[in-house]
Amino acid sequence: MASNHESLVDFLSISTPMIESPTKPNKTTELHHVAGKKRVIIEHISPAVEGGLYPAKRVVGEKVEVEADVFSDGHDVVKAVLLYKFASDKHMKQIPMEFAGNDHWKASFIPDKKGFYEYTVLGYVDHFITWRDGLKKKFEANQNVSVELLIGAEMLENTAQHAQGEDAHLLREWARKLREDHEHSMASGVTLALEKEVSRVMYDNYDRSNATTYPNVYKVEVERKKALYSTWYELFPRSTSPEPGRHGTFRDTIRLLPHIKEMGFDVLYLPPIHPIGRTFRKGLNNALTANPGDPGSPWAIGSEEGGHKAIHRELGTLKDFQDLIWIAGEQGIEIAMDIAYQCSPDHPYVKEHPQWFKWRPDGTVQYAENPPKKYQDILPINFETEDWENLWKELKSVLDYWVEKGIRIFRVDNPHTKAFGFWEWAIGEVRKNEPDVIFLAEAFTRPRIMERLAKIGFNQSYTYFTWRNNPWELKQYMLELTKSPMRDYYRPNFWPNTPDILPPVLTHGGEAAYIMRLVLAATLSSNYGLYGPVYEYNINTPYPGKEENLDSEKYEIKHWDWDKETRTKEILIMINQIRKENPALHNTWNLHFADVENPQMIVYGKNDEASGNIILVAVNMDPYHTQGSWVRLPLKELGIDSYRSYVAYDMLSKSRYTWYGEWNYIELNPYQIPAHVFRIEQ
Pick out residues in 490-519 that bind its own copies (CB under 8 A).
none
Residue 103 CB, nearest approach to its own copies (Å):
4
Figure out which of the listed residues 88, 91, 140, 643 binds its own copies, where binding follows CB under 8 A: 140
Q: Which helix (H) or strand (E) holds 373?
A: strand 373-375
- Does position 134 bind its own copies by CB under 8 A? yes
- Does position 428 bind its own copies by CB under 8 A? yes
Assess contact for 238 and 295: CB atoms under 8 A: yes
DSSP 445: S
DSSP 551: T
Cβ-based neighbour number of residue 149 at 10 Å: 27
- Does position 41 bind its own copies by CB under 8 A? yes
Q: How far apart are CA 525 and CA 227, in angstroms?
A: 12
Residue 206 CB, nearest approach to its own copies (Å):
14
Figure out which of the listed residues 32, 106, 278, 580 binds its own copies, where binding follows CB under 8 A: 32
- Does position 162 bind its own copies by CB under 8 A? no
DSSP per residue over 599-611, as a string? TTEEEEEEEETTT
DSSP per residue over 170-204, as a string? HHHHHHHHHHHHHHH-HHHHHHHHT-HHHHHHHHH
- In the Cβ-directed half-sphere of 248, how many Cα atoms lie within 13 Å? 23
- Does position 420 bind its own copies by CB under 8 A? yes
Active site residues: 413, 442
Which residue lies nearer to its own copies by CB, 357 or 555? 357
Q: Which of residues 582-641 bind its own copies (CB under 8 A)?
A: none
Choices 139-147, 504-512, 599-607, 634-642 (CB under 8 A): range interacting with its own copies? 139-147
Rg of the Cα atoms in the chain: 31
Residue 364 CB, nearest approach to its own copies (Å):
8
Figure out which of the listed residues 99, 109, 116, 624 binds its own copies, where binding follows CB under 8 A: 116
Residue 421 CB, nearest approach to its own copies (Å):
5
Residue 397 CB, nearest approach to its own copies (Å):
9
Amino acid at 195: E
- Does position 169 bind its own copies by CB under 8 A? no
- Does position 133 bind its own copies by CB under 8 A? yes
Which of 89, 77, 3 is closest to 39 using CA atoms? 77
Cβ-based neighbour number of residue 258 at 10 Å: 11
Q: Which of residues 44-63 bind its own copies (CB under 8 A)?
A: 48, 50-55
Residue 488 CB, nearest approach to its own copies (Å):
13
Residue 268 CB, nearest approach to its own copies (Å):
25
Q: Is 98 helix (H, G, I), strand (E, B) or coil?
A: strand
Q: How many residues touch its own copies (CB under 8 A)?
A: 103
Choices 194-202, 241-249, 252-260, 360-368 (CB under 8 A): range interacting with its own copies? 360-368
Which residue lies nearer to its own copies by CB, 286 or 385? 385
- Does position 188 bind its own copies by CB under 8 A? no
Q: Which of residues 377-416 bind its own copies (CB under 8 A)?
A: 380, 383-386, 388-389, 392-393, 400, 403-404, 416
Cβ-based neighbour number of residue 643 at 10 Å: 7
- Does position 151 bind its own copies by CB under 8 A? yes
Which residue lies nearer to its own copies by CB, 331 or 385? 385
Assess contact for 240 and 273: CB atoms under 8 A: no
Amino acid at 241: S
Residue 462 CB, nearest approach to its own copies (Å):
16
Choices 57-65, 184-192, 210-218, 600-608 (CB under 8 A): range interacting with its own copies? 210-218
- Does position 485 bind its own copies by CB under 8 A? no
Residue 567 CB, nearest approach to its own copies (Å):
40
- Does position 417 bind its own copies by CB under 8 A? yes
Pairing assessment for the beta strands 646-650 and 601-608 based on DSSP bridges:
unpaired
Task: Give start and end residues of each alpha helix (H) in 456-599.
Answer: 471-483, 504-524, 567-581
Assess contact for 163 and 128: CB atoms under 8 A: no
Figure out which of the listed residues 28, 102, 164, 658 binds its own copies, where binding follows CB under 8 A: 102
Q: How far apart are CA 197 and CA 193, in angstroms?
A: 9
Figure out which of the listed residues 418, 468, 475, 606 binds its own copies, where binding follows CB under 8 A: 418
- Does position 372 bind its own copies by CB under 8 A? yes
Choices 429-437, 497-505, 515-523, 558-566 (CB under 8 A): range interacting with its own copies? 429-437
Strands laid side by side in the 98-99 sheet: 40-46, 64-72, 104-109, 98-99
Choices 43-51, 296-304, 498-506, 580-588 (CB under 8 A): range interacting with its own copies? 43-51
Which residue lies nearer to its own copies by CB, 118 or 323? 118
Figure out which of the listed residues 96, 258, 421, 599 binds its own copies, where binding follows CB under 8 A: 421
Which residue lies nearer to its own copies by CB, 141 or 610? 141
- Does position 88 bind its own copies by CB under 8 A? no
- In the Cβ-directed half-sphere of 630, how many Cα atoms lie within 13 Å? 4
Q: Which helix (H) or strand (E) holds 568?
A: helix 567-581
**155 exposed, middle or buried (CB, 10 Å; 0-12, 13-18, 19+)?**
buried
Choices 191-199, 226-234, 446-454, 617-625 (CB under 8 A): range interacting with its own copies? 446-454
Figure out which of the listed residues 108, 158, 199, 210 binds its own copies, where binding follows CB under 8 A: 210
Pairing assessment for the beta strands 104-109 and 212-213 based on DSSP bridges:
unpaired
Cα–Cα distance list, 616 to 512, 574, 585, 597, 632 (Å):
20, 16, 10, 17, 12
Q: Which helix (H) or strand (E) holds 232?
A: strand 230-234
Pairing assessment for the beta strands 460-461 and 438-442 based on DSSP bridges:
parallel
- Does position 1 bind its own copies by CB under 8 A? yes
Choices 195-203, 267-275, 426-434, 642-650 (CB under 8 A): range interacting with its own copies? 426-434
Which of 121, 127, 32 is closest to 78 using CA atoms? 127
Q: How far apart are CA 426 and CA 442, in angstroms?
A: 16
- β-bridge partners, 680: 648
Q: Which helix (H) or strand (E) holds 655?
A: strand 655-659
- Does position 237 bind its own copies by CB under 8 A? no
- Does position 362 bind its own copies by CB under 8 A? yes
Residue 147 CB, nearest approach to its own copies (Å):
5
- Does position 376 bind its own copies by CB under 8 A? no
- β-bridge partners, 461: 441, 492
Figure out which of the listed residues 371, 565, 654, 672 binds its own copies, where binding follows CB under 8 A: 371
Which of 518, 464, 452, 513 is closest to 492 using CA atoms? 464
Choices 17-25, 306-314, 470-478, 578-586 (CB under 8 A): range interacting with its own copies? 17-25
**516 exposed, middle or buried (CB, 10 Å; 0-12, 13-18, 19+)?**
buried
